[in-house]
Amino acid sequence: MKNKIILWAIIAVIVIGSIFGIIKLASKSQTAGSDNLAITVSAINDNENTKGDKEALAALIEYSDFQCPACGSYYPILKKITEDLGAKVRFAYRHFPLPQHKNAKLAATVAEAAGKQGKFWEMHDLIFQNQSDWSEEKNAAVLFAKYAKDIGLDLARFQTDIASDEIKAKIENDYKSGVKAGVNSTPSFFLNGKKMDNPRNYDEFKNAIEQAFGQSN
């Protein structure tokens, strides 16, 4: 009888220990899951390339690569969204040139050089609209110089700015901020600081932003 009591006591200890271990493991899993869902990114600052009102209820950040075909596909969607929503959304473009895209970093540099003359978005649009023309060019700089002329840039200043350490550092800082936020592909979008699943179309994108208006109220 005594041996049976001891045996049942041992079994009870094992069962209780197992249950405790399962609960603890589940708790850890839930915590890890919460961390994944709460991936955030640094707020938009005044030195970035932005559209929309600074006080907009929704802030949308895109980490993008000018040579990325998927980014090129999202370009007209984002352009229409920023036009339709206007001041209601503040949109910021951040550079995340992928190493496998040989002309991506140059394209980012060109856009920033145009930005030095107040024409980042004009160059941004031309680069995406002509993505298939320059992406695989061995000397894409020639085409970019043509775009600079087309939008009326001071070409001498443009060439000087392309070589500037300031622009190089800005692109690098964008990239590092993306890595820190968990970006590993382009495009990656953050809505009001939180990473979002890439919408499948214009309507999904617009609806997600409009829902963010309500969350901000």
φ, ψ dihedrals at 158, nearest 5°: -55, -45
Q: Give the model confidence (pLDDT) of 62-116 as tens digits.
A: 999 999 999 999 999 999 999 999 999 999 999 999 999 999 999 999 999 999 9
Q: What is the mean pLDDT of residues 176-199?
A: 96
- Cis peptide upstream of residue 69 (ω within 30 degrees of 0): no
Query: How high does pLDDT run on average in the chain?
Result: 86
pLDDT at 160 over 80: yes
Distance separating alpha carbons of residues 152 and 141, to the nearest angstrom: 17
Residue 61, pLDDT score: 98
